[in-house]
Chain A
Amino acid sequence: MIVVDFVVYLFTVLPDLLPIILGLATPLALGALCGVINERAGVVNIGIEGIMLWSAFNGYLAGFALHDTIGAGPSLALGIATAVLTGAVLGLLHAWLTVTVRADQIIAGTMMNIAAFGITGYLNRLIITPSGRGGAGVLGVLHLPPEVIGLPAVGPIIRMFFEQGPIAMSVVFFVIAIQLLLFRSRWGLRTRAVGEHPKAADTLGIDVFKQRYLNVVLGCAFAGLAGAYLTLESTGSFQNGMTGGRGFIALAAMIFGRWTPVGAFLGALMFGTATALGVVVNIRVPEGDLGQILKSIPTFWYAALPYLVTIVILAGVVGRSIPPAADGVPYEKEGRA
Chain B
Amino acid sequence: MNERPPALEMRGITKRFPGVLANDDITFDVRAGEIHALLGENGAGKTTLMNILYGLVSPDTGEVLVDGTPVTIRDPSNAIAQGIGMVHQHFMLVPVLTVAENVILGQELLRGPFLDLPQAARRIRELATQLGFDVDPDVRIEQLPVGQQQRVEILKAIYRGARILVLDEPTAVLTPQETVEVFTVLRRLQADGAAIVFISHKLEEVLAIADRITVIRRGKVVGTRRPSETSDVDLAVMMVGREVLLRVDRGKSHPGDVVLKTEGLRVKDDRGHEAVRGVDLEVRAGEILGIAGVAGNGQDELVDALVGLRRPAGGKVLLGGAEITGAPTRRIRDLGVAHVPGDRQRFGLVLPYPVEDNLVLTSFDEPPFATGPLNLLRNDAAIDEWSERLIKEFDIRTPSRDVRAATLSGGNQQKIIVAREFRGANRLVILDQPTRGLDVGSIEFIHRRAIEKRDAGTAILLTSADLDEVLELSDRIAVMFRGHIVAIFDAAVAERDRIGLLMAKGGAAAA
Type the 1/0 row for A127-171, where 1 means its CB is closer than 8 Å to any CB of B.
000000000000000000000000000000000000000000000
Given that A201-B105, A202-B76, A325-B95 are contacting pairs, would A336 and B57 also be in contact in the complex, using a CB cutoff of 8 Å?
yes
Type the 1/0 row for B244-279, where 1 means its CB is closer than 8 Å to any CB of A.
000000000000000000000000000000000000
Are B92 and A205 within 8 A (Cβ)? no
Q: Which B residues from 84 to 139 make CB contacts under 8 A with A?
A: 86, 88, 91-97, 101-102, 104-108, 110, 113-115
B108 contacts across to A, CB distance below 8 A? 186, 189
Contact partner, B106, options A181, A199, A205, Cβ 8 Å: A205
Min CB gap B112→A, angstroms: 10
Task: Assess whether A190 is interfacial by the CB under 8 Å rule.
Answer: yes
Are A200 and B94 within 8 A (Cβ)? yes
Contact partner, B57, options A184, A190, A203, A337, Cβ 8 Å: A337
B56 contacts across to A, CB distance below 8 A? 202-203, 333-334, 337
Are B22 and A336 within 8 A (Cβ)? yes
Are A186 and B94 within 8 A (Cβ)? no
Type the 1/0 row for A194-238, where 1 means its CB is closer than 8 Å to any CB of B.
001101111111100000000000000000000000000000000
Task: Assess whether B67 is interfacial by the CB under 8 Å rule.
Answer: no
Task: Assess whether A335 is interfacial by the CB under 8 Å rule.
Answer: yes
Task: Assess whether A185 is interfacial by the CB under 8 Å rule.
Answer: yes
Min CB gap B159→A, angstroms: 10
Task: Assess whether B481 is interfacial by the CB under 8 Å rule.
Answer: no
Task: Assess whether A85 is interfacial by the CB under 8 Å rule.
Answer: no
Contact partner, A205, options B47, B77, B94, B115, Cβ 8 Å: B77
Instruction: Report the bound CA distance from A128 to B93 in whole Å.
Output: 54
B77 contacts across to A, CB distance below 8 A? 205
Number of A positions contacting B (CB below 8 A) = 25
A200 contacts across to B, CB distance below 8 A? 91-94, 102, 105
Are A197 and B93 within 8 A (Cβ)? yes
Min CB gap B199→A, angstroms: 12
A335 contacts across to B, CB distance below 8 A? 17, 57
Are A193 and B114 within 8 A (Cβ)? no
Are B17 and A205 within 8 A (Cβ)? no
B95 contacts across to A, CB distance below 8 A? 196-197, 325
B101 contacts across to A, CB distance below 8 A? 189
Task: Assess whether B365 is interfacial by the CB under 8 Å rule.
Answer: no
A196 contacts across to B, CB distance below 8 A? 94-97
Q: Which A residues from 172 to 198 make CB contacts under 8 A with B?
A: 180-181, 184-186, 189-190, 192-193, 196-197
Chain B minimum-CB-distance residue to A322: B96
Instruction: Report the bound CA distance from A203 to B78 in whole Å.
Output: 11
Type the 1/0 row for A293-337, where 1 means its CB is closer than 8 Å to any CB of B.
000000000000000000000000000000001000000011111
Contact partner, B115, options A184, A197, A204, A337, Cβ 8 Å: A184
Given that A184-B115, A186-B115 are contacting pairs, would A201 and B106 also be in contact in the complex, using a CB cutoff of 8 Å?
yes
Instruction: Report the bound CA distance from A278 to B338 in whole Å.
Output: 58
Min CB gap A263→B, angstroms: 16
Min CB gap B272→A, angstroms: 10
Q: Which B residues from 129 to 184 make CB contacts under 8 A with A?
A: 156
Counting chain B CB atoms within 10 Å of each CB, the highest count among A180, A205, A325 belongs to A205
A189 contacts across to B, CB distance below 8 A? 97, 101, 104-105, 108, 115
Task: Assess whether B63 is interfacial by the CB under 8 Å rule.
Answer: no
Are B48 and A197 within 8 A (Cβ)? no
Instruction: Report the bound CA distance from A45 to B105 in whole Å.
Output: 26
Instruction: Report the bound CA distance from A50 to B104 in whole Å.
Output: 38
A184 contacts across to B, CB distance below 8 A? 114-115
Are B97 and A203 within 8 A (Cβ)? no
A192 contacts across to B, CB distance below 8 A? 94, 96-97
Task: Assess whether B319 is interfacial by the CB under 8 Å rule.
Answer: no
Task: Assess whether B485 is interfacial by the CB under 8 Å rule.
Answer: no
Instruction: Report the bound CA distance from A190 to B101 in whole Å.
Output: 10
Task: Assess whether B75 is interfacial by the CB under 8 Å rule.
Answer: yes
Given that A193-B94, A336-B17 are contacting pairs, would A203 and B54 also be in contact in the complex, using a CB cutoff of 8 Å?
yes
Contact partner, B48, options A186, A190, A325, A337, Cβ 8 Å: A337
Type the 1/0 row for B476-507, where 1 means its CB is closer than 8 Å to any CB of A.
00000000000000000000000000000000
A337 contacts across to B, CB distance below 8 A? 22, 47-48, 51, 56-57
Type the 1/0 row for A93-126, where 1 means its CB is closer than 8 Å to any CB of B.
0000000000000000000000000000000000
Contact partner, A203, options B92, B96, B107, B114, Cβ 8 Å: B92
Contact partner, B76, options A180, A181, A186, A203, Cβ 8 Å: A203
Contact partner, B114, options A185, A190, A199, A201, Cβ 8 Å: A185
A205 contacts across to B, CB distance below 8 A? 75-77, 80, 106
Counting chain B CB atoms within 10 Å of each CB, the highest count among A192, A200, A202, A337 belongs to A337
Instruction: Report the bound CA distance from A122 to B74 in whole Å.
Output: 49
Min CB gap B304→A, angstroms: 20
Q: Which B residues from 406 to 436 make CB contacts under 8 A with A?
A: none
Counting chain B CB atoms within 10 Å of each CB, the highest count among A193, A203, A206, A336 belongs to A203
Are A204 and B106 within 8 A (Cβ)? yes
Instruction: Report the bound CA distance from A333 to B108 in whole Å.
Output: 23
Are B57 and A186 within 8 A (Cβ)? no
B110 contacts across to A, CB distance below 8 A? 186
Instruction: Report the bound CA distance from A190 to B105 in whole Å.
Output: 7
Chain A minimum-CB-distance residue to B101: A189
Instruction: Report the bound CA distance from A284 to B96 in whole Å.
Output: 48
Instruction: Report the bound CA distance from A180 to B88 in whole Å.
Output: 32
Counting chain A CB atoms within 10 Å of each CB, the highest count among B93, B94, B95, B115 belongs to B94
Min CB gap B216→A, angstroms: 14
Min CB gap B291→A, angstroms: 29
Instruction: Report the bound CA distance from A336 to B15 in whole Å.
Output: 10
Instruction: Report the bound CA distance from A65 to B102 in whole Å.
Output: 51
Given that A196-B94, A337-B48 are contacting pairs, would A206 and B105 also be in contact in the complex, using a CB cutoff of 8 Å?
yes
Instruction: Report the bound CA distance from A336 to B47 in whole Å.
Output: 10
Q: Which B residues from 19 to 70 make CB contacts under 8 A with A?
A: 20, 22, 47-48, 51, 54, 56-57
A203 contacts across to B, CB distance below 8 A? 54, 56, 76, 86, 88, 92
Instruction: Report the bound CA distance from A206 to B156 in whole Å.
Output: 14
Instruction: Report the bound CA distance from A190 to B113 in whole Å.
Output: 14
A185 contacts across to B, CB distance below 8 A? 113-115
Instruction: Report the bound CA distance from A181 to B112 in whole Å.
Output: 12
A186 contacts across to B, CB distance below 8 A? 108, 110, 115
Counting chain B CB atoms within 10 Å of each CB, the highest count among A180, A196, A204, A325 belongs to A204
CB<8 Å pairs between A and B, sample of 11: A185-B115, A189-B101, A189-B105, A192-B97, A193-B97, A196-B96, A197-B92, A200-B91, A204-B106, A205-B77, A336-B48
Q: 7 extra interchain contacts, Cβ-Cβ under 8 A, other than A184-B114, A185-B114, A325-B95? A: A185-B115, A186-B110, A196-B97, A200-B94, A200-B105, A336-B20, A337-B57
Chain B residues packing against A (C-beta within 8 Å) = 17, 20, 22, 47-48, 51, 54, 56-57, 75-77, 80, 86, 88, 91-97, 101-102, 104-108, 110, 113-115, 156
